[in-house]
Homo-oligomer: A and B are copies of this chain.
Amino acid sequence: MTEIDLIVHGASQLLTMDPRLAAVGDDDPEAARIGVIPDGALAIHGTDILDVGSSEKILDSYRAQKTIDARGCVVSPGLVDPHTHTVFAGSRHLEFGMRMRGESYLDILAAGGGIHSTVSSTRDASLDDLVSLALPRLARALRFGVTTMEIKSGYGLALDAEIKILTAVRRLDGEQPIRLVPTFLGAHVVPREFVDRRDEYVDLVIREMIPQIAGEKLAVACDVFLDEGAFTADEARAILAAASNHGMAPKIHAGQFTDQGGPGLLAELGGLSADHLEVVSDEDVEAMARGGIVANLLPGAAFSLRDSFPDGRRFADAGVPVALATDNNPGSSRSENLPLMASMGVTRMGLDCAEAWQGITSNAASAIGMSDRVGSLVPGKKADLLLLSIPDFRAFLYHFGVNHTMAVVMDGKVIMKGTPV
């Protein structure tokens, strides 16, 4: 008997996310795809998973200081939200109200709405303000079972303000439990003061922001919004190439409104994920499949903007890994409910339940370069896991819009017990 710190046993289904670990019959190939072990258990030592298997095997092989009886629960990896803009100031509910009354984008701009209003509020906010505004958002995400989250800058659009946002992310990483993965999005939109000299802004991003942010290790990835009204393909290529040279992984917002060839460009540069993808060519889908680029789909933005949902089935059928994110942001998707995005993934985007689970765990981890540490329950990874009050992994998507999280374990420690809502 090996002495270890923690055993979690008796899970009605343990979702390892690794098909090689599956222990289900031939009658449930969907469960096999996400590595379901019935009556499953985990052996945990320190912060990491040491072993997984049936409860019988794990309880026979290890003796633990502490055990958690997960009977009646599905145990899953902690959820990974791979695309958010969680650090911002200001609320845009009045603009939302105008949109829902059918008012035009020009009317909204005239009323002081749009992304520039968030840029203005975020520039005006102090670092402390940004941290305290983000804390309740992160607490809400944690209650929904999110244990790893990407957060982008991009509401600063000036060196000091971008650094302030990324510094807030670093502070938040230390002040609350969720693992935060910072992405630099200086090329979110051309700021108003540069609107007639956009080349200068692109230069500023490349020559000042990227070197300094990389130097201070404030971001692990760099994202560009490639679309009409944002940045061009040439600008995106120059910015992402510079970021790559400074060790930041390229990512791209592409095809939210128009097809500008972003996914192909990203595949060429060897990036992590192309995000949004509501409008995308077959060639770009193939390039993503060949290049191992994750399709990071954002149903909440389509939902809130009254747009069509991205077609998850198309990417899955082409062999592109599909991730699902909240896109939590004040303009187009104000929500921390990642499980709801997974429900939208199945009901509105053509995925099946196993694919939706991959979208918020293993594929989401790949989308942000964290698949060596999180997103699946296999030996060597962080012991980040959820106890869910559901009878089957499919019930998580089926019983939608509510919170099934009974407990959250991170780094092998129980950090939250709750009543599901």
For the residues of A in contact with B, the DSSP-based class is loop
Categorize the interface residue count of chain A. Answer: 35 or more
Give the contacts of A370-415 with B (CB-CB under 8 A).
Answer: 390-392, 394-395, 397-403
Contact A352 B101 (CB under 8 A): yes
Q: Does A303 contact B (CB under 8 A)?
A: yes
Contacts of A400 in B (CB 8 A): 300, 303-304, 334-335, 337
Whole-angstrom distance between the alpha carbons of A101 and B395 in the complex?
14
From B303, B304, B391, contact of A91 by CB (8 A):
B391
Question: Taking A335-B399, A340-B340, A421-B143 as contacts, is the C-beta distance between A352 and B394 under 8 angstroms?
Answer: no
Question: Taking A97-B394, A397-B96, A397-B100 as contacts, is the C-beta distance between A402 and B347 under 8 angstroms?
Answer: no
Give the contacts of A74-101 with B (CB-CB under 8 A).
Answer: 91-94, 96-97, 100-101
Contact B100 A402 (CB under 8 A): no
Contacts of A392 in B (CB 8 A): 93-94
Contact B401 A352 (CB under 8 A): no
Q: Does A57 contact B (CB under 8 A)?
A: no
Question: Taking A94-B394, A391-B91, A395-B93 as contacts, is the C-beta distance between A402 and B348 under 8 angstroms?
Answer: no
CB distance from A82 to the nearest CB of B (A): 17
Question: Taking A30-B97, A100-B346 as contacts, is the C-beta distance between A421 and B403 under 8 angstroms?
Answer: yes
Contact B101 A335 (CB under 8 A): no
Whole-angstrom distance between the alpha carbons of A357 and B345 in the complex?
27
Q: Does A225 contact B (CB under 8 A)?
A: no
Q: Does A417 contact B (CB under 8 A)?
A: no
Contacts of A418 in B (CB 8 A): 421
CB distance from A339 to the nearest CB of B (A): 9
